[in-house]
């Protein structure tokens, strides 16, 4: 056996577990761990400007590719509390992420020592495990258990808190004999899946609802194969968007109150059977349950047994990893297809395609200031099918989900349940770390962008190029829209005359923060667009600047200040505030051209 510091053992374990991408900020109480990373040399570290930003970078990195686990590192006290929003965002969306904090010496923990906070208790509600390691000999086992928990069952984040004296202590440890613990995931039985398939094939208008669990399981190909074998349309959730490409004939659109397609909602309302795989029945997807469930039979397959029945009781519930369930369903579907016992759903598929080709929202507006719908139309033109989009919350995210196109898994990366403002920029940097050389495009409103704007400097320092589209209406747009029911606009305007930006055009003046100057001051490139017909040129210019300078490039679009994006309280009663498409020219980048 070899005698070494606990932190040297921990860093060796990170490498053996395949977690070698870290984001964080050093500090006195975590310096021993940083010295171990330096001595080891195999852990790449990206220095953030804020610990919350570092946690979102680690989250974005974890979401970027199958099997990734991002690491966030910070010192004692406020570093851990700054991580809580990041832990919550990862926990809410079932994302594995390891947070490591320094801590005061063990003997000082009950003495209100400097920056000695009980981060274990604070973090427990938003983690799968939070542990202050009080004994040096527990360090290897705690890290071993952390990786098992992050990967087992419903994935999620873990926080390990390391008192400085525990970090400095020496233990006997042999990395050559260390082995990761087995990952535990439930698997549906053949009998369960036969019952599910019997129920599906007894229906006349069945749908598959594809959740984020399919993407977490790396099972998108199996989903598409199952849909094709059965000839059954697929409704992805917001977190499952991309599991089936938008241009696939069986992609029937998204359903919901906000991030949905008109044709998706209408198709769902016409269905009589739904099998949900790896989804949570989130309220922004379902709306009122009486409307959502009326006249339909439901099967729910999820990796977490306690998710089944949490929102409503399905007719059949199965606890299973989405990948394992899809493997079994594909095998059964192949057998039944070979036996000629599968129903023909071609008429139902044709009806769904008809809705996809007729129920469009208008995107082509020539207005100045620019209407947001035109921005997404031009993004569809400018960015190809390999593009990865990153977004979090607000009217920008809602409209983007209604109008952008996604063509594969992990190409729509979104903090869907927590929706923390400020997540987008640091998460995009983590995604760039996880997808080097690929096209990454972030989408923010001006407020989301301003929340953690300092993290742009990280992209400049470490040469992490991506394009950040900022749709600026100088409003908290989603909150302004939600306040309409109260007949007010209270504390939602960000507009002011910027005394340092007197050279702005009449269109752009009075919008407040000069995002171009801020971005350039942080070492990035930036472009402002005020005419909708210049959007395509601006996006091309941004791509060229990102390639040349290898830094983030901000494209700020000056929007009309007041816009209401389609949404409602029931999936059969979504308010359409703008004119609907009447000709193909009204929605020129729709997946299927508008048919009269």
Name the token pair of 494: 């960000």
Distance of alpha carbon 549 from alpha carbon 200, whole angstroms: 53
| CA dist 512 → 318, 320, 516, 520, 586 (Å) | 52, 50, 12, 16, 32
Residues 216/242, Cβ–Cβ less than 8 Å: no
Name the token pair of 153: 């069952």
Helix, strand or coil for residue 414? strand
Name the token pair of 309: 């029945």
Residues 443/400, Cβ–Cβ less than 8 Å: yes
- Which residues have C-beta within 8 Å of that of residue 485, sequence separation ≥ 6? none
Distance of alpha carbon 518 from alpha carbon 508, whole angstroms: 15
Q: What are phi and psi of 180, to 5 degrees?
A: -60, 145
Q: How many helices (H) and strands (E) does the chain have?
A: 23, 21
Q: What is the pLDDT of residue 187?
A: 97
Residues 466/440, Cβ–Cβ less than 8 Å: yes
In order along its 596 residues, the chain shows pLDDT tens digits of 689 999 999 999 999 999 999 999 999 999 999 999 999 999 999 999 999 999 999 999 999 999 999 999 999 999 999 999 999 999 999 999 999 999 999 988 888 787 789 999 999 999 999 999 999 999 999 999 999 999 999 999 999 999 999 999 999 999 999 999 999 999 999 999 999 999 999 999 999 999 999 999 999 999 999 999 999 999 999 999 999 999 999 999 999 999 999 999 999 999 999 999 999 999 999 999 999 999 999 999 999 999 999 999 999 999 999 999 999 999 999 999 999 999 999 999 999 999 999 999 999 999 999 999 999 999 999 999 999 999 998 889 999 999 999 999 999 999 988 889 999 999 999 999 999 999 999 999 999 999 999 999 999 999 999 999 999 998 877 778 888 888 888 888 888 888 888 888 888 888 889 999 999 999 999 999 999 999 999 999 999 999 999 999 999 999 998 888 899 999 999 999 989 989 999 999 999 888 86
Alpha helical stretches, state H, 470-559: 477-482, 515-521, 535-549
Name the token pair of 506: 């009449």
Q: What is the sign of the dihedral through the CA atoms of 104, 110, 114 and 119?
A: positive
Residue 330, H or E segment: helix 322-338
Residue 371, H or E segment: none
CB neighbour class for 425 (10 Å; exposed up to 12, middle 13-18, buried from 19):
buried
CA 209 to chain centre: 18
Residues 217/323, Cβ–Cβ less than 8 Å: yes
Instruction: Name which of 120, 145, 139 is nearest 130 in CA terms.
Output: 120
Distance of alpha carbon 296 from alpha carbon 280, whole angstroms: 17
Q: What is the pLDDT of residue 248?
A: 97
Instruction: Name which of 433, 451, 456, 448 is nearest 400 in CA terms.
Output: 448
Instruction: Name which of 592, 571, 472, 586 is nearest 528 in CA terms.
Output: 472
Q: What is the pLDDT of residue 448?
A: 93
Residue carrying structure tokens 């209407």: 371
What pTM, to 2 d.p., does this model score? 0.95
Residue carrying structure tokens 């508008």: 594
Q: What is the pLDDT of residue 419?
A: 85
| CA dist 294 → 181, 272, 273, 282, 289 (Å) | 44, 9, 10, 17, 8
Q: What is the pLDDT of residue 596?
A: 65
Q: What is the pLDDT of residue 506?
A: 80
């Amino acid at each position: 056996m070899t005698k070494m510091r606990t932190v040297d053992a921990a860093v060796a374990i990170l490498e053996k577990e395949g977690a070698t991408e870290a984001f964080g900020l050093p500090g006195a109480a975590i310096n021993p761990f940083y010295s171990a990373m330096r001595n080891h040399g195999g852990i790449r570290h990206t220095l953030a400007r804020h610990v919350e930003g570092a946690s979102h970078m680690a989250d974005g990195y974890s979401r970027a590719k199958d099997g990734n686990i991002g690491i966030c590192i910070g010192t004692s006290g406020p570093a851990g509390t700054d991580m809580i929003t990041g832990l919550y965002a990862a926990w809410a969306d079932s994302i594995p992420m390891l947070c490591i904090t320094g801590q005061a010496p063990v003997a000082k923990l009950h003495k209100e020592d400097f920056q000695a906070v009980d981060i274990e208790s604070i973090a427990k509600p938003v983690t799968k495990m939070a542990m202050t390691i009080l004994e040096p000999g527990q360090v290897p086992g705690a890290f071993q258990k952390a990786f098992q928990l992050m990967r087992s069952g419903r994935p999620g984040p873990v926080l390990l808190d390391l008192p400085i004296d525990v970090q400095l202590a020496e233990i006997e440890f042999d990395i050559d004999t260390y082995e990761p613990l087995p990952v535990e995931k439930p698997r549906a039985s053949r009998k369960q899946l036969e019952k599910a398939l019997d129920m599906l094939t007894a229906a006349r208008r069945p749908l598959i609802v594809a959740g984020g669990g399919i993407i977490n399981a790396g099972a998108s190909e199996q989903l598409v194969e199952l849909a094709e074998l059965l000839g059954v349309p697929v409704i992805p959730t917001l977190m499952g968007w991309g599991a089936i490409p938008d241009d696939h004939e069986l992609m029937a659109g998204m359903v919901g109150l906000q991030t949905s397609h008109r044709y998706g909602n209408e198709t769902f309302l016409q269905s009589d059977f739904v099998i949900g795989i790896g989804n949570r029945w989130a309220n922004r997807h379902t709306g009122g349950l009486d409307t959502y469930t009326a006249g339909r039979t439901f099967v729910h397959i999820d990796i977490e047994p306690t998710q089944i029945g949490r929102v409503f009781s399905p007719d059949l519930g199965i606890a299973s990893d989405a990948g394992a369930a899809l493997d079994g369903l594909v095998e059964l579907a192949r057998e039944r297809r070979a036996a000629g016992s599968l129903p023909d759903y071609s008429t139902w598929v044709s009806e769904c395609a008809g809705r996809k080709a007729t129920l469009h929202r208008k995107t082509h507006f020539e207005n100045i200031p620019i209407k947001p719908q035109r921005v997404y139309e031009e993004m569809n033109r400018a960015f190809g099918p390999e593009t990865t989009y990153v977004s979090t919350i607000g009217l920008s995210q809602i409209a983007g989900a209604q109008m952008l196109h996604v063509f594969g898994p992990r190409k729509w990366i979104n903090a869907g349940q927590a929706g923390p403002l400020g997540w987008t920029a640091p998460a995009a940097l983590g995604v760039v770390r996880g997808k080097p050389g690929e096209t990454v495009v972030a989408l923010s409103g001006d407020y989301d962008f301003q929340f953690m704007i300092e993290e742009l400097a990280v992209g400049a320092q470490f040469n992490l190029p991506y394009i950040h589209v900022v749709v600026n209406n100088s409003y908290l747009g989603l909150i302004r829209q939600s306040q309409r029911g109260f007949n007010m606009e209270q504390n939602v305007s960000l507009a002011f005359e910027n005394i340092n930006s007197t050279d702005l055009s009449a269109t752009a003046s009075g919008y407040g923060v000069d995002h171009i100057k801020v971005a350039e001051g942080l070492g990035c490139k930036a472009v402002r667009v005020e005419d909708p017909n210049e959007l395509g040129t601006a996006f091309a210019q941004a791509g060229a600047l990102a390639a040349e300078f290898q830094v983030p490039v901000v494209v700020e679009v000056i929007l009309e200040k007041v816009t209401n994006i389609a949404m409602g309280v029931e999936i059969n009663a979504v308010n359409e505030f703008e004119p609907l498409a009447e000709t193909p020219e009204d929605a020129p980048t729709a997946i299927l051209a508008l048919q009269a």
